[in-house]
């Protein structure tokens, strides 16, 4: 028995889901393993690292996190070949003073590091991390940057899939709402037509009713 075709309204949703699961959103993104990367080459003035991070979240991603030597090498290679590498790239990392450790903004585990300036006892409050694009080493710097030459963002494929599903779901719900409203208004209009068309109609017009009433009154007076 052949399977029924999916409803027409679900086709865009299924298409987006398949595309997001199989690949990155567009040719401006680069895929490596199970993540997609984009380098926003626009130089921007910023007041804090959160302004830099907003550049990524606006694209459904977050600032870059790096978890092994292969990923670090991939980023360096792609920066040189495709992204016109600046000297340093701000990593999506911050120093958490609560437990005195570095953490990634995307909440992934800190499984790898490539510090070139690791020192014991150094003051790390308001410290962020930068990737030196010539050597691949990481170095510490102040989070209070005033400008960046570009922003490197990363998104897992499942995150892109979720974003695509949310967008497609919103579109479908909007269309369904419009269809339901149209059908509701149409049923109301047809209901009023039915009421007026089926109302009881007298076989006499107003003049005939008046004459009959006068004749009845005349008969009463003489009986």
The predicted-structure confidence for 10-41, as pLDDT tens digits, reads as follows 444 444 444 444 478 888 899 998 899 999 98
Q: What is the pLDDT of residues 39-59, one digit of tens each?
A: 998 888 888 899 999 999 999
Cβ–Cβ under 8 Å, residues 64 and 83: no
* Long-range Cβ contact pairs of 113-117 (< 8 A, separation 24 or more): 113/138, 114/66, 114/69, 114/72, 114/138, 115/139, 115/140
Q: What is the mean pLDDT of the chain?
A: 77
212 has pLDDT over 60: no
| Residue given tokens 């909007």 in the structure block | 174
Structure tokens at 113: 């590091």
Cβ–Cβ under 8 Å, residues 75 and 152: yes
- Confidence (pLDDT) at 162: 53
| Residue given tokens 């960046």 in the structure block | 148
168 has pLDDT over 70: no
Distance CA 31, CA 52 (A): 22
- Confidence (pLDDT) at 64: 95
173 has pLDDT over 60: yes
Structure tokens at 185: 């208004």
* pTM, rounded to two decimals: 0.61
């Amino acid at each position: 028995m052949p399977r029924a075709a999916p409803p027409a309204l679900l086709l865009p949703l299924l298409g987006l889901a398949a595309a997001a699961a199989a690949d990155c959103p567009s040719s401006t993104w680069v895929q490596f393993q199970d993540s997609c990367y984009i380098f926003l080459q626009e130089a921007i003035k910023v007041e804090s690292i959160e302004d830099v991070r907003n550049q990524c979240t606006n694209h459904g991603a977050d600032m870059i996190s790096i978890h092994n030597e292969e990923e670090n090498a991939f980023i360096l290679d792609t920066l040189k070949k495709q992204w016109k590498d600046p000297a340093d790239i701000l990593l999506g990392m911050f120093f958490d003073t609560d437990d005195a450790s570095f953490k990634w903004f995307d909440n992934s585990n800190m499984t790898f590091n490539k510090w070139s300036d690791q020192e014991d006892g150094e003051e790390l409050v308001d410290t962020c991390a930068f990737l030196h694009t010539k050597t691949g080493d990481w170095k510490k710097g102040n989070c209070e940057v005033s400008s960046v030459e570009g922003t490197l963002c990363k998104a897992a494929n499942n995150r892109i899939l979720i974003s695509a599903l949310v967008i497609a779901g919103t579109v479908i719900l909007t269309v369904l709402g419009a269809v339901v409203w149209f059908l509701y208004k149409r049923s109301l209009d047809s209901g009023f037509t039915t009421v007026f068309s089926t109302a009881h109609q007298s076989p006499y017009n107003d003049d005939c009713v008046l004459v009959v009433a006068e004749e009845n009154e005349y008969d009463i007076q003489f009986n």
